[in-house]
Amino acid sequence: MYKVKIFGAGSIGNHLANACRRKGWQVSICDIDKAALERTRSDIYPARYGKWDNEIRLATPGEIENEEFDLVIIGTPPDSHMAIACSELERRPSRVLLIEKPVCTPSLEDANKLVNLQKETGTFVAVGYNHTLTAHSQRAAEIISHGLLGKTQTISAAFREYWGGIFGAHPWLSGPEDSYLGFSQRGGGAGGEHSHATNIWQHFAWLTGSGRINRVMALLDMVDDGKVSYDQLFLVNVQTDKGLVGSIIQDVVTEPPVKAARIQGDQGFMEWTVNIDSGHDALRYAGSDGKICEELFPKTRPDDFAGEIAHVEEILSGASPEDSPIAVIRGLDTMLVVSAAYLSHKHGRLVKINYDAGYSRDALEFE
């Protein structure tokens, strides 16, 4: 049985606590806000999963800071991720450290430090892009590996979801101005909040051998009224170092939501959809014979995290984390693109990513 510490008794902290408890693991959730701990016990967890689980320990971070854990999960606001992650790796490294998305703010501050600490400690550091590990994503990877689609012509990805649901799930927040969500530079806005789209684009580019994004041209729709400063629409055209051109859309205004990606090959295509209806993810694809196949994957909200936690379990039991879709460098690649998009929009220019410069703003240059 693994010992798990979760920072943040908020929305994701509860989801991942439940996913770990389904594995029978010993879970402690810590939060700097005692009201958040109480809300978890009396409201969020029982409302989502039927009843409170007395096996879950609730604590302040200081109360459990000297204990050892196999898995540490950071489910706090994005602008706190790096400080907590580096401090955990410096003080008492766990075997796996899972940081929620987005891994950091667009400033990429301390990103290189985190990568160095991962190397020094040997901890497997991951970023919570859970959609790469759902059942339909694993099936998509299998189909792609059989070469059904041929040579990739383009990839597009979109995570478009009005964020009213987030505020519905956080009734103690009156709106985006009350949290990081209303501030792109703190990891909120469509760029940070729905960065799943950028990440799944990169995931499919990686699975199809299409290279790494190194050119970014963005147009955003900013909301800037003195109280908030965030992008509500994040429209980005990208190109990889192998010449593949595609598009990414993220927004916080579309209702009902659209969460989908499409790979067009010269032999066939694949459409990948999250929540095609309230109970399924879906794949729709065809190869060179043109015969369209549709597969539905039954799911509930807890299933969104089950694949990710099963993957973490494999790594805790000794599997090689090589090529993990949630490895920290994949999450940092995503933030490089998000950061490049903000820079591109601000200056109306195409931004190049130079991966040799490491994970910092120094990697971004105007073309």
Ligand X SMILES: NC(=O)c1ccc[n+]([C@@H]2O[C@H](COP(=O)([O-])OP(=O)(O)OC[C@H]3O[C@@H](n4cnc5c(N)ncnc54)[C@H](O)[C@@H]3O)[C@@H](O)[C@H]2O)c1
Positions that interact with ligand X (CB under 6 A): 7-13, 30-33, 36, 61, 75-78, 80, 84, 100-101, 128, 130, 170, 179, 193
Smallest separation (angstroms) from ligand X to the CB of 37: 8
Map tokens 């401090």 to a residue: 87
SS3 192: helix
* Rounded distance between C-alpha atoms, residue 199 and residue 140, angstroms: 15
CB nearer ligand X, residue 33 or residue 314: 33
Are 366 and 218 in contact, with CB atoms under 8 Å apart? no
The radius of gyration of the chain's CA atoms, rounded to the nearest angstrom, is 20
Name the token pair of 347: 């200056």
- For ligand X, which is the closer residue by CB, 76 or 210? 76
CB of 241 to ligand X, least distance (A): 28
Query: Whole-number minimum distance, CB 104 to ligand X, in Å?
Result: 10
- Which residue number places its CB atom closest to ligand X? 10
Provide φ and ψ at 322, rounded to 5°.
-60, 140
Smallest distance, Å, CB 35 to ligand X? 8
Sign of CA dihedral 57, 63, 68, 70: positive
State the greatest distance between any 2 C-alpha atoms of the chain, in Å, as a whole number.
Answer: 61
Judge residue 100's burial from the number of C-beta atoms within 10 Å of its C-beta, 0-12 exposed, 13-18 middle, 19 or more buried.
buried
Closest distance of CB 148 from ligand X, Å: 29
Cβ closest to ligand X, residue 101 vs residue 299: 101
Nearer to ligand X, 33 or 142 (CB): 33
Contact yes or no for 188/230 (Cβ under 8 A) = yes
Q: Considering the complex, what minimum distance in angstroms separates the CB of residue 291 from ligand X?
A: 34
Q: Which is nearer to ligand X, 122 or 168 (CB)?
A: 168
Q: Which of 147, 130, 140 is nearest to 271 (CA)?
A: 140
- Decide whether 238 or 335 has the Cβ nearer to ligand X: 335
